[in-house]
Amino acid sequence: MKKYILILALAIIAPLSFGQDHPEHKKKEHVEMTAEQKAQKRVDKLAEKLELTDAQKEKIYKIELDNIKKAEKTHKEMIALREKAKQQREEGRAKVEAELTQEQKDKLAEMKAKRKEACKADCKEKCKGHKEGGHKPHGEAHQH
């Protein structure tokens, strides 16, 4: 009986020891690459797996570089549009608030506070079971 308890205890504890952070398991620091470096990296991976000819490598490099540059441009445009939409929402809210009485403004502030608390509770519920730090803090992940 003691052997079974010992085996059971080892079976539970052993996997936990493997989850420890070891220096060699640390994530590499994020290094920003140029579009050219990204394209070359993609070509190198394809060349390794598909045994590309030099002519194919050259053509695929140009295609990848073009795709990466387009994607980066689109990403920048999306960021700018997001910022513009945020500014427009804030301006619209300010105009609405300018039309409200102080009592209405107070009630609106109370409604916002309740909504924020409800959202926080909802976020906590959705994020249960995730590792600590596994999600963005409230406010970064959701826009209300």
CB 47 within 8 A of CB 57: yes
Q: CA-CA distances (angstroms) from residue 105 to 74, 93, 108?
A: 39, 11, 5
At residue 73, the 3 state secondary structure works out as helix
With 60 as the cut, is the pLDDT of residue 139 above it?
Answer: no
pTM tops 0.75, yes or no: no
What residue ranges do the domains of the chain occupy? 32-120
1 vs 39: which has the higher pLDDT: 39
CA distance linking residue 112 with residue 93, whole number of Å: 12
| CA angle (102 as vertex; 98, 108 as ends), nearest 5 | 80
pLDDT band at 144 (very low <50, low <70, confident <90, very high): very low
Indicate the average pLDDT of the chain.
82
Q: Which residue has the higher pLDDT, 123 or 61?
A: 61
Task: Round to whole Å and give the CA distance between 125 and 113.
Answer: 18
Summarize the confidence of residues 103-127 as an average pLDDT.
Answer: 90
Round to the nearest angstrom and report the end-to-end CA distance of the chain: 58
Instruction: Please give the pLDDT value at position 27.
Output: 61
pLDDT digits (tens, 9 = 90+) for 17-61: 555 555 555 566 778 999 999 999 999 999 999 999 999 999 999
pLDDT at position 23 is 55
Q: Tell me the mean pLDDT in the region 121-129.
A: 78
